[in-house]
Structure 1
């Protein structure tokens, strides 16, 4: 697997030693609130998840979870998932960043790098969904070029709170990406 590098980040395969920092940011209540994973993530479950992630293949259909690493200190900043569809021409994307790093452009940098990689390999379309209350994620998606395509009222059941939440649907075509990337 080729790593994806940006000026400040490396998107790479997960390692078992990423388990503890992953659990730390995924267990922050306002982060977990918008996600589909069970919370809290126990140390054992985090180790298991890091092992699962480390065995995924980014070239095959299905999910691949990139570890987002800061170049400055080699620490885990977050993760970015890509779900390659069976046709290998479309994908879904999701991301999570440690809250201490919010507002510094790291998530935008990671998403742009992943999109560039996906479109260079020939994808036609990338989609993303987010909880309608998660306005920072929605703004990030729009900032990198995604268009809001719809809203599904009470579509997602939050397994941690039992509440039904609205889901926003976003999409980005390769042709639009090429125009934006210029």
Structure 2
């Protein structure tokens, strides 16, 4: 994985474009340009953009680790999104969410994107990344396991996963 000056992340097959506040606002408003996979953005992508905008308004965009649009490198087509649910807490923990348009699922893109975002979080000094998936969302559970996250419990609704590292707590981006 490498990082572009803009904050974009590049993997073997993907560009994870870090959304600006203006781009997140366009996504929420139903606008935005560029090529999009059928089914993108999903309701989850719009909810994530709203969460990102709320966090930026409350805490400032500089503290938020980011929201990303997942694009294929070969054709630039937007296929999904991922976002940190806000700045790290006092212990250096962030929560992540991700999703792909139904037309882009089953090709390993989600695991590839999640691995890049875990590396991104680690490089910034975060100590722990958490995620969760509904009990019946076995595909998402497999994505987190494939990206190196470990089971960390469950409740009546979801299974929790996490990855943790030692080191100093980062302040974010």
The more displaced of 9-18 and 121-130 is: 9-18
Residue of 137, 158, 167 corresponding to 1:167: 158
Cα deviations across residues 116-144 of structure 1 (Å, max 9, x unaligned)?
A: 11101111110001111100000111111
Cα deviations across residues 40-80 of structure 1 (Å, max 9, x unaligned)?
A: x7xxx9xx85x949x7866414x732111111111111000
8 Å CA contact 1:18–1:76 kept in 2: the answer is no
Is it true that 1:149 corresponds to 2:152 in the alignment?
A: yes
Rg comparison, structure with higher value: 1
The aligned counterpart of 1:158 is none
Q: In structure 1, list runs of 5 or more residues that go unmatched.
A: 154-165, 176-182
Work out the CA distance in 2 between the residues paired with 1:85 and 1:19. 31
Q: In structure 2, list runs of 5 or more residues that go unmatched.
A: 1-5, 27-31, 167-173
Cα deviations across residues 122-168 of structure 1 (Å, max 9, x unaligned)?
A: 11110001111100000111111111111111xxxxxxxxxxxx111
Residue of 124, 127, 136 corresponding to 1:124: 127
1:28-107 aligned within 5 A: 49=50, 52=53, 59-61=62-64, 64-83=66-85, 84-87=87-90, 89-107=92-110
Looking at secondary structure, tell me which structure has more strand per residue.
Answer: 1
The aligned counterpart of 2:9 is 4
Instruction: Figure out how many residues of one structure are paired with residues of the other and give that number.
Output: 147
Deviation of 1:101 (Å): 1.4
Change (3 A) 1:122 1:113: same
TM-score by length of 1: 0.67
SS in 1 for 2:7: coil
Looking at secondary structure, tell me which structure has more helix per residue.
Answer: 1
TM-score by length of 2: 0.70
The more displaced of 10-19 and 116-125 is: 10-19
SS in 1 for 2:39: helix
